[in-house]
Amino acid sequence: MKSTKCAIALGSNLGDSLATLKSAIATLNNTPGIAVKSHSSWYQTAPVGPPQPDYINACAILEVTLQPQQLLATLLEVEIKFNRIRREKWGPRTLDLDLLLYDDLILETPTLTLPHPRMAERAFVLVPLVEIAPDWVHPVTKSAIDQILKTADCSGVQKMKV
């Protein structure tokens, strides 16, 4: 079965966020149809949305044999496994897994838009992603991730010493 390279963003700001994120990566790597190829460093980032604690964010590169909707469903199942509860838009969470890129696929369905529609505006996504995939070309903007990052405000993103 053909495998596809994907990029995901991970975030957490409730509970033991670092342990949650490390466990989520291990869980994904042990999920049939998913192999975690690399992940970025951990970054402490200022929250977007209502007042809440800072986040820990990272990105990971996956090789998957799942179709985009199957991968999204799997990411949502992993969030639930780590007690993700959706109370308010952009609210605090134990785990957030976002599918950013699925090779160079451009897709818009009621439940999934690829590439992720707000990734190019979010330094908390771009900074960790450029660490592991600087040359990945965004299929809509046709710019490499390291070029997109140059226009982002990175003031709320700090690499953690772990």
CA 84 to chain centroid, in Å, comes to 15
Residues 16, 54, 84, 87: which is the catalytic one? 84
> Quick check: is 96 catalytic?
yes
> Quick check: is 98 catalytic?
yes
Instruction: Round to whole Å and give the CA distance between 85 and 98.
Output: 15
> Quick check: is 54 catalytic?
no
Pairing mode of beta strands 107-108, 55-64: unpaired
Residues 16, 86, 87, 98: which is the catalytic one? 98
Instruction: Round to whole Å and give the CA distance between 98 and 115.
Output: 10
> Quick check: is 146 catalytic?
no
Residues marked active site are found at 84, 93, 96, 98
